[in-house]
Structure 1
Amino acid sequence: MLDPEDEPRLPAELEQAIFETTAHIRPLSIPTLMLIAWRVKKWVEPLLYQTIVVSDSGADADAKNLEGHRKPFRCRTIYRVIQQSKSFPGDSVRDLFLSWEPTQEAVPKAILTACRSVENLWLSTAGPTTLFHLVEDLPLKQLYCDLRYLFGVQRQIDFSHRLFAKITHLEVFGGLLSGPEERWKQLAHIPHLTHLSFSHEYSVAGFLTILRTCTLLRVLIVRESSNWICTAIERSPDGAEIIRDPHFVKLGRREPGLDWRRGAWHGGGDYWVHAEECVALRKRRVGEADALQYVFEEDGF
């Protein structure tokens, strides 16, 4: 029998790559992989917490969970884990989805205090928060939230703030900048913004201002399940210019939380990717179709 030291072994770098790839493909296998050896545990445990979804919503927690991925943490569960564990790997968290009730704000405070390396953040709440000081210094690249609630009613939304310094993808829930054209131009202060989406804010003049002033913008998405926005654009004097712009995309009925998870867990396949496909298609078919003809739903165009 061979001495254990003489048994054939893979190079450590290759072995690590194999286990990390397995963990990425099958996240549910990570707890089992961690039992193989201490070195494997060290490699894959951070991946267990790379994407965290926290929600008590039945729709988020129970329905339509993506195959191969665990269900979201309940608010009280993750709060208890953070409070009781001295070694919670918060620095491993890159993608964070937080949905809570106003009475549960201790939960997002504890999580954001522990997780200071978040790059992709979804904040969903029913009212104002006091989380701004915990969010403003995160190295965010993607942000999904109601900015009015994040900044607070007493604070003016400032797109030149360091909060937006690295932001490339921004989805705005609720109202934001209805009013003079100058307020819409402020979005151009976000230096690296390439993807912008609105869930409820609809202003034809605002869309046109954004398309003209945000020079790096690759996609402007409007989430709209009715025909209101189509009618408004068609009746507007500036509607024709918006319709002709291939970067403008109208999004049909999709489940936002599930879509976010699809992108975070699979590194693509979310609505940003589909919108880019729509933009590319329209650029190839210049003059043959307009923005209102290409509306993509949950399963594509």
Structure 2
Amino acid sequence: MEIEPALPLDLERMTFELVAELHPTTIPTLLRVCRRVHAWLEPLLYRVLNLDDFNLIRAIDFSLKPPSTESQPPQSLLSRIYQWYNPPEPVEPPRLQFFRNAVRHVFCTIPDFFANADTSWQTISHFLRLHPAVFELAVKGYSATVKTLPSSNRKQLAKELRPTRLTLELCNEYSSVDLTDPFFSSVTHLTLLTPCTLTRQPNWLPSSLAGLTHLCVTEDIAQVIMPRVFTTCPSLQAFVVYWWEAPIPRWRRLRAETSPQLAKDLSDQLRIAKNRRYSRMVGFEMQLERSAYADARIVLVSVPDFFEAWERGVRSGQDMWVCVEQFIASKRRGEREQNAYILVTGEPWGFLSDSEIEEADGLESIIPPSFCSGTRTKKRTTCLPHFHHPHERVP
């Protein structure tokens, strides 16, 4: 039964959409309010797809099934022979156009390529093949070398894919990535992450990507390509150097919720990891200042869990590139010094979370005290009194 609106439709729609954007987990419940609310909010439910969710994969698999032919009358022998030589045009799944219009951001994990019975990956691959122009794609476990394996063992992305924004967590070295592959031809925002240590210099630069404007790589590869990255990519607007840290497994976080001691141990581990990342970022920043490659478009970023921040960012509208562009713009407006590089604040990509800034009496409780003196010039320190970035102009 359709409920008569008590508010003008445009205001009612704005209210429901605002609630859905602020609290995405409520969308399935809100869809049951009435038909018009269902029509408004269903696209928001599928705007960001985390395909590590098995229930979501099952729902997509059901939606992509072709129309049933069970109710059609049996065909004669002549009709079947005719269709054999004149096959009908393939019928698109009824929900395919909806997915093409609604889905903007997709996250998935490529399973081990020997797990051939993985039906979930078959559904994911089929969905991506039907939606090759997805705006943003983030993939864990990507391997370029899988193409050399026997086809029966391949677990690779559909060759038809042409995303605009692409994030790849590599399961092998950067040197295996072929940026001349058509898969990269439409990419404007590229992120390449690896937990592996670089053992040899890659034989590529992103110069083959004509439309590339934003590039993010981990620190080890940045050391190699930085001398040439801006000359080979003159259209580059932002170059992000990311410090990789293996995220805490979900099962450990859940266990920590049931035990004060485990929670304390986990908190200590996170604090030590944060201090370690910050020390490496400060060292890189100091090295950058002394080099000939310093550029206002370089931004240093590190968060505890990249893909958790990625999902929060695309759902809230504050993705990494939005935060990075705001940071660079603040330098151009003179709000920060030109040699500011570390992205300290800005949920969810800032080095410090909003809650850490609100709860701390001083950043000495967050950042190692050893960085507050003696490691930088007298003019600039790494200690952040009153929660200002070290390069912000404090009134």
1:248 aligned to 295, 298, 314, which one? 298
1:157 aligned to 146, 168, 178, which one? 178
Cα pair distance change 1:253/1:267, threshold 3 Å: closer
State the TM-score, normalized to the length of structure 1.
0.69
> Equivalents in 2 of 1:194, 1:177: separation in Å?
27
1:125 is matched with which residue? 141
> Equivalents in 2 of 1:125, 1:194: separation in Å?
24
> Equivalents in 2 of 1:179, 1:234: separation in Å?
23
| Letter paired with 1:142 | R
> Equivalents in 2 of 1:79, 1:20: separation in Å?
24
Check the 8 A contact 2:138/2:167 in 1, yes or no. yes
What SS is found at the alignment partner of 2:215? strand
| Letter paired with 2:291 | A
Matched pairs, number: 268
Check the 8 A contact 1:204/1:239 in 2, yes or no. no
1:213, distance to aligned residue in structure 2 (A): 2.0
2:323 aligned to 270, 274, 281, which one? 274
Cα pair distance change 1:23/1:282, threshold 3 Å: closer
Structure 1 unaligned regions, length at least 5: 56-72
1:226, distance to aligned residue in structure 2 (A): 6.0
Check the 8 A contact 1:124/1:145 in 2, yes or no. yes
Check the 8 A contact 1:143/1:167 in 2, yes or no. yes
Identical columns (%): 24
Q: Spell out the pairing of 1:1-301 with structure 2 (5 A cutoff).
A: 16=13, 19-55=16-52, 73=53, 75=54, 77-85=55-63, 86=65, 90-91=99-100, 92-99=102-109, 101-102=111-112, 103=115, 106-115=119-128, 116=131, 118-125=134-141, 130=154, 132-134=156-158, 136-146=159-169, 157-159=178-180, 161-174=181-194, 179=201, 183-184=204-205, 187-199=206-218, 201-224=220-243, 225=277, 227=279, 240-243=291-294, 245-268=295-318, 270-285=319-334, 288=337, 290-291=339-340, 297-299=351-353
1:267, distance to aligned residue in structure 2 (A): 1.2
Check the 8 A contact 1:51/1:264 in 2, yes or no. yes
1:248, distance to aligned residue in structure 2 (A): 1.1
| Letter paired with 1:255 | D
Cα pair distance change 1:265/1:286, threshold 3 Å: closer
Cα pair distance change 1:178/1:232, threshold 3 Å: farther
Q: Which has the higher contact order (CA 8 A, sep 6+)?
A: 1
1:209, distance to aligned residue in structure 2 (A): 0.7
> Equivalents in 2 of 1:293, 1:79: separation in Å?
38
**Aligned alpha-carbon RMSD (Å):** 4.1
> Equivalents in 1 of 2:182, 2:142: separation in Å?
25
Instruction: Summarize deviations over 1:141-166 as a string: whole Å, max 9, x none.
Output: 2111046869996xx6033x442333
> Equivalents in 1 of 2:235, 2:293: separation in Å?
17
> Equivalents in 1 of 2:50, 2:172: separation in Å?
20
Rg larger for: 2
Instruction: Summarize deviations over 1:262-299 as a string: whole Å, max 9, x none.
Output: 2210111x332332233234445599552556665142
State the TM-score, normalized to the length of structure 2.
0.55
> Equivalents in 1 of 2:313, 2:351: separation in Å?
16
1:124, distance to aligned residue in structure 2 (A): 0.8
